[in-house]
Amino acid sequence: MTALIAGNWKMNGLTETAAQIVGPLRRAADDLACEVLVCPPATLIASVAQMLAGSRVMVGGQDCHAKPSGAHTGDLSAPMLRDAGATWVIVGHSERRADHAETDAMVRAKAEAAAAAGLRAIVCVGETEAERLAGRETEVVGRQLAGSLPDDFAGRPAAGVVAYEPVWAIGTGRNATEADVGAVHAFIRAELLRRFGDAGAKIRILYGGSVRPANAAALLAVPEVGGALVGGASLKAEDFLAIAKAAPTR
Ligand code: PGA
């Protein structure tokens, strides 16, 4: 499976900085063995999609509403993201789950809305530090997967991916060990196979949480790690490209 390296810019980026990140990506993309995706803030999706038109670098949103349109001030729908040039969308990021009280059911509805609009979804799961310390990480991740993934998530021509992001490793510089990552990714794979049968083998499972050029090769080499969801390090083209270059060809 080709690895997917996805950059989540979060609430960062203005027109000028976007061009500084995207220009080098565009120039390097043809030589990369992995798939590359950037998820800028919604204000930049259309312009970034234009900057990347005709290149291998894909563009995604960071969230979408579950409804295609309506009276939801400030929200953006999946068809709107698609219209702006996105082909992917992140749903259920832990910052959305925490800041906007998003539940598994809401995340699932967003993933369904994404698919209906022709977007591929990155569905995020991951335990908090307290849950990890209590040894509850697989219980939590299992519950999130069961509640957040649509029933037809596997087996679509353009299926989505799952991202495992332990909350305590996001933006903290603290890494899950390769053993921790391997254990949870193996658990997620088993859950996907149990729920979706053979089609569950084809869903890529990304790792996210303080992925940097210095640790990318080791994390991406862990069995069942099919790519990375990168926050902070995706804001510098050089760092993001170094991570993309570290992706093994499997
Ligand atoms: P980080 O963020 O790489 O800055 O830890 C990852 C994410 O939240 O997707």
Q: Please calculate the CA angle 172-101-64 and round it to the nearest 5 degrees.
A: 90
pLDDT for 211 equals 96
Which residue is listed with tokens 């997917």?
4
77: left (phi over 0), alpha (psi -120 to 50) or beta: beta
Residues in the chain: 250
The token pair at 227 is: 């790519």
pLDDT in tens, 31-81: 999 999 999 999 999 999 999 999 999 999 999 999 999 999 999 999 999
Establish whether residue 119 lines the binding site of ligand 1, counting it when its CB lies within 6 angstroms of any ligand atom.
no
Binding site membership of 239 for ligand 1 (Cβ less than 6 Å): no
User: Per-residue pLDDT tens for 203-214?
Assistant: 999 999 999 999
Residue 157 has pLDDT above 90, yes or no: no
Question: Above pLDDT 70, what percent of the chain?
Answer: 99
Mean pLDDT of 140-165: 92
| Per-residue pLDDT tens over the stretch 98-108 | 999 999 999 99
The predicted pLDDT at position 222 comes to 97
- Which candidate in 93, 112, 131, 137 is catalytic? 93
Of the candidates 165, 185, 191, 224, the residue annotated as catalytic is: 165
pLDDT at 52: 97
Ligand 1, atom nearest to 172 Cα? 5
The minimum-distance atom of ligand 1 relative to the CA of 95 is 8
Cα of 233 to ligand 1 centre, how many Å? 8
Distance between Cα 71 and ligand 1 center (Å): 31
Q: Looking at the predicted structure, is the pLDDT value of residue 250 above 70?
A: no
Query: What ligand 1 atom has the least distance to the C-alpha of 234?
Result: 3
pTM: 0.97
Does residue 173 carry a pLDDT above 90? no
Distance 125 CA to ligand 1 centre (A): 13
* Residue 158 reports pLDDT greater than 90: no
Average pLDDT value for residue range 173-194: 94
2-30 tens-digit pLDDT: 999 999 999 999 999 999 999 999 999 99
Name residues whose C-beta falls within 8 Å of residue 133's C-beta, 6 or more positions apart in sequence. Answer: none
Question: Averaged over 128-153, what is the pLDDT?
Answer: 96
Whether 156 has a pLDDT exceeding 80, the answer reads no
Is 129 tagged catalytic? Answer: no
Q: Which residues of 31-60 are buried (b: 16+ CB within 10 A; e: fewer)?
A: ebebbbbbbbbbebbbbbbebbeeeebbbb
Query: Residue 145 — very low, low, confident or very high, per pLDDT cuts 50/70/90?
Result: very high
Cα of 42 to ligand 1 centre, how many Å? 18
Q: What is the mean pLDDT of residues 221-227?
A: 97
